[in-house]
């Protein structure tokens, strides 16, 4: 059974500072048993980042749609698994008002860092909570899940100036957003990810990230773990997107060394 001490040892082994900003996606089942389950993992990471910020994605993109354009931060459940379900409504966290890609933050800076997410017009906009992890020297922690669940890379995709068509829907829609006090705002002209979006292509970056030192492997219990540096992953992926002559996220071609090495 994995304990908080084991989680601390993993983070210390990676060299993650206690002051860091870290976003985590995890398969609790893959760990093979952890004290307290999903809440126990959140507690352990939150306690490790005692002077930092833990960000747990609590996305609602499967339910907040043109057919159901309503997001209520108090009630709308996540659609991405057990860890998100545990994080979304905890009293010690602050869940953002982003209508489809909310995150719950744990730490003193949580509310201020996630403020204004209700103004997002896309899932991971430039200047949003995920894209700012580049300038904040943040990290992505993937526990028992693959690179396809690294939503940070969606932010890199939106930041990149590339000659390929975007991975966003062509038809915008309006979303009603309800905050913690039940006040309603309207997010006009929101563009969601296209159903054929590029996240399925993110695993193609594994080799490039590994060979450039952007990611570091590890384990937690029975789970394979990947720690990614947000600035380094953004640099590598941005380089590939700038050099490729076709969309590397949607094409069937592998990402070759000439696209990511200097």
Residue scoring higher pLDDT (170 or 13): 13
pLDDT at 61: 96
pLDDT at 227: 98
Going by pLDDT thresholds of 50, 70 and 90, the confidence category of residue 199 is: confident
pLDDT at 195: 59
Mean pLDDT of the chain: 95
Going by pLDDT thresholds of 50, 70 and 90, the confidence category of residue 200 is: confident
pLDDT in tens, 97-137: 999 999 999 999 999 999 999 999 999 999 999 999 999 99
HEC readout, the chain: CECHHHHHHHHHHHCCCCCCEEEEEECHHHHCCECCHHHHHHHHHHHHCCCCEEEEECCCCCCCECCECEEECCCCCCCCCHHHHHHHCCCCCEECCCCCCCEEEECCCHHHHHCCHHHCCCCCCCCCCCHHHCCCCCEEEEECCCHHHCCHHHHHHHHCCCCCCCCECCCCEEEEEECCCCCEEEEEEECCECCCCHHHHHHHHHHHHHHHCCEEEEEECCEEEEEEEHHHHHHHHHHHHHHCCCCCCCCCCCCCHHHHCC
Q: Does position 143 have pLDDT exceeding 90, yes or no?
A: yes
pLDDT in tens, 38-93: 999 999 999 999 999 999 999 999 999 999 999 999 999 999 999 999 999 999 99
pLDDT in tens, 151-195: 999 999 999 866 666 688 889 999 999 999 999 999 999 999 875
């Amino acid at each position: 059974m994995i304990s908080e001490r084991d989680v601390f040892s993993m983070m210390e082994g990676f060299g993650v500072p206690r002051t860091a900003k870290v976003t985590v996606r995890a398969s609790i089942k893959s760990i093979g048993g952890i004290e307290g389950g999903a809440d126990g993992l959140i507690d352990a990471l939150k306690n490790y980042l005692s002077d930092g910020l833990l960000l747990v994605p609590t996305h609602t993109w499967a339910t907040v749609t043109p057919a159901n354009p309503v997001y209520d931060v108090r009630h709308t459940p996540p659609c991405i698994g057990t860890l998100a379900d545990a994080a979304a409504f905890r009293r010690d966290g602050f869940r953002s008002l982003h209508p489809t890609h909310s995150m719950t933050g744990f730490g003193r800076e949580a509310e201020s860092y996630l403020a204004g997410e209700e103004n997002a017009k896309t899932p991971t906009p430039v200047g949003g909570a995920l894209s700012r992890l580049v300038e904040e020297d943040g990290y992505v922690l993937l526990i028992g899940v693959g690179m396809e669940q690294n939503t940070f890379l969606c932010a890199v995709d939106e930041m990149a100036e590339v000659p390929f068509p975007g991975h966003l829907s062509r038809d915008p829609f309006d979303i009603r957003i309800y905050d913690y006090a039940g006040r309603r705002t309207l997010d006009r002209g929101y563009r969601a990810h296209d159903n054929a979006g590029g996240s399925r292509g993110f695993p193609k970056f594994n080799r490039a990230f590994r060979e450039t030192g952007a990611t570091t492997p590890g384990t937690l219990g029975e789970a394979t773990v990947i720690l990614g540096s947000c600035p380094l992953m953004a640099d590598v992926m941005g380089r590939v997107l700038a050099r490729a002559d076709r969309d590397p996220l949607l094409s069937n071609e592998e990402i070759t060394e000439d696209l990511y090495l200097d």
